[in-house]
Amino acid sequence: MTTSTSTVDLSFLAELGLEGTLSGAYNGSWLSCNGSKLTVNSPADGSKIGVIEQANAEDYEKVAAAAQEAFLRWREVPAPIRGEYVRRIGEEMRKHKEALGKIVSWEMGKILQEGLGEVQEAIDIADFSVGQSRMMYGLSMHSERPQHAMREQWHPLGVVGVISAFNFPSAVWAWNSMLALVCGDSCLWKPSSKTPLTAIAMTKVAAKVLEPEGWGALIGLVVGRGSEVGALMLDDKRVPLVSATGSCAMGKHVAEKLASRYGRTILELGGNNAAVILEDADLEMAFRSTLFGAVGTAGQRCTSTRRILIQKSVKDEFVSKLVEFYGKVPIGNPLADGTLMGPLIDQGAVDDVLASIENVKAAGGKILCGGEQVHPEGCEGGTYMTPCIAEVQNEWQVVQDETFGPLLYIIEVEDLDDAIAKHNDVPQGLSSCIFTSNMRHAERFVSAAGSDCGIANVNLGTSGAEIGGAFGGEKETGGGRESGSDAWKAYMRRQTNTINWGTELPLAQGISFDLD
């Protein structure tokens, strides 16, 4: 079902300083950019919401040079003091949470509850990073040589490049930048050109804390063409680490460029996430989880549920109910109360999903519901479609290739062994889950012989990770890890120290190397 919209209150644009023509480059101050202008339209109704002067190569150099200079000073600031700055940034984000959530929603298209949740995620990682600033532990090791001590410690790495995608325009930057800052690094952010206003807003909020004390360049920003400013970042030896979120093809390019200059990457790429539903599952729990996992964010999360691997004995009951509720999902203005599914990011995204649906039909699949472009009242200029369910075979190429939108595949499986085999038989490996009441089935799924993904859940869905755990996936998902656990180590360099506090010079392994 579609919902109508009333006049949208855009006062949050003024609160976040997003009115008028905006600069797309920040290096401690907002630059007068030399690139072409970028007009930003909301996918909700097609209306223009901003104009940005994009950064070009000259602007990139100004931002990168300032980030490098700031890093050289910042690395000597004690980590707990760096954490105090991040704490204050988190507090500033709290002050503007509602406005930030609204710009995420209106610019990207996810419903307001999800926009607010994304900003909360940014706040949460700031809180997490504050604690981490006092817990970047090294090791003390015993030396084989007398009167020697060995230790391992972690040092700041340098300028961290962040390339973010449109679907999480604030949280992904925060995952990287909050940790990078407490680790002693500076950041250089190249956001998606589909959601640049959110990037400018987040930078403005953080700059309120950093800029007055001379640290604004720590959060450098360049809004510009990937072929220009993005390419410069990949080749920039001042940027030892690039964290990139996007498609598998984009990630492969980033990995090759960084490897050619011995740089590091954190890659968060495609997912083809499956939920295994066994005949002993709590079907109501599985149903509610699938509805959010597949329909939330219009299927544009990297952790969105793409495939349902379900046993035959419960398939008809589960699918029948899912189809019924798919037809009732309120679609429309993402800021309106009651909306559960907003627009896709642009017409190109809609066209990609529609093309995949045609490929499903050509392969012999059955469309069970949805899959049409729609134009809700009051949102006629937006890019909306009804969520689609299709019955398919796992080995079909259209299923093997992730479609980034609200297209859910139903795949019948015989038993747990068949489910795990089909689950793992895709190139991507981000998120996974199983619904079962059998402890042995659950433990098998999260064992080394089970899911091959970076995330494996039991009796909860593929989507909705908490910041406390390391986030990322295997295979063509890239192998990167961000956010919690020990992900902070990616933003630092490891150093082993051996200290001789004696008066002799014994060599390791008992080697004798004397002239006498």
33, 187, 302, 379: the catalytic one is 302
Q: Which two tokens stand for residue 421?
A: 């085999």
Quote the CA–CA distance of 338 and 493 in Å, as a whole number: 48
Residue ranges of E strands in 365-430: 366-369, 373-374, 384-385, 388-391, 407-413, 428-429
Pairing of strands 25-26, 219-222: antiparallel
Quote the CA–CA distance of 183 and 26 in Å, as a whole number: 21
Structural contact between residues 429 and 400, judged by C-beta atoms closer than 8 angstroms? no
Length of the chain counted residue by residue? 516
Report the b/e string of 222-238 with b at 16+ CB within 10 A.
bbbbbebbbbbbbebee
The backbone region for 260, taken as left when phi is positive above 0, alpha when psi lies in -120 to 50, beta otherwise, is alpha
- Is 248 a catalytic site residue? no
Structural contact between residues 480 and 248, judged by C-beta atoms closer than 8 angstroms? no
Quote the CA–CA distance of 191 and 244 in Å, as a whole number: 10
Task: Rounding to the nearest 10 degrees, give the CA dihedral for residues 225, 231, 232, 236.
Answer: 150
- Is 268 a catalytic site residue? yes
53, 114, 121, 268: the catalytic one is 268
The catalytic site residues sit at 268, 302
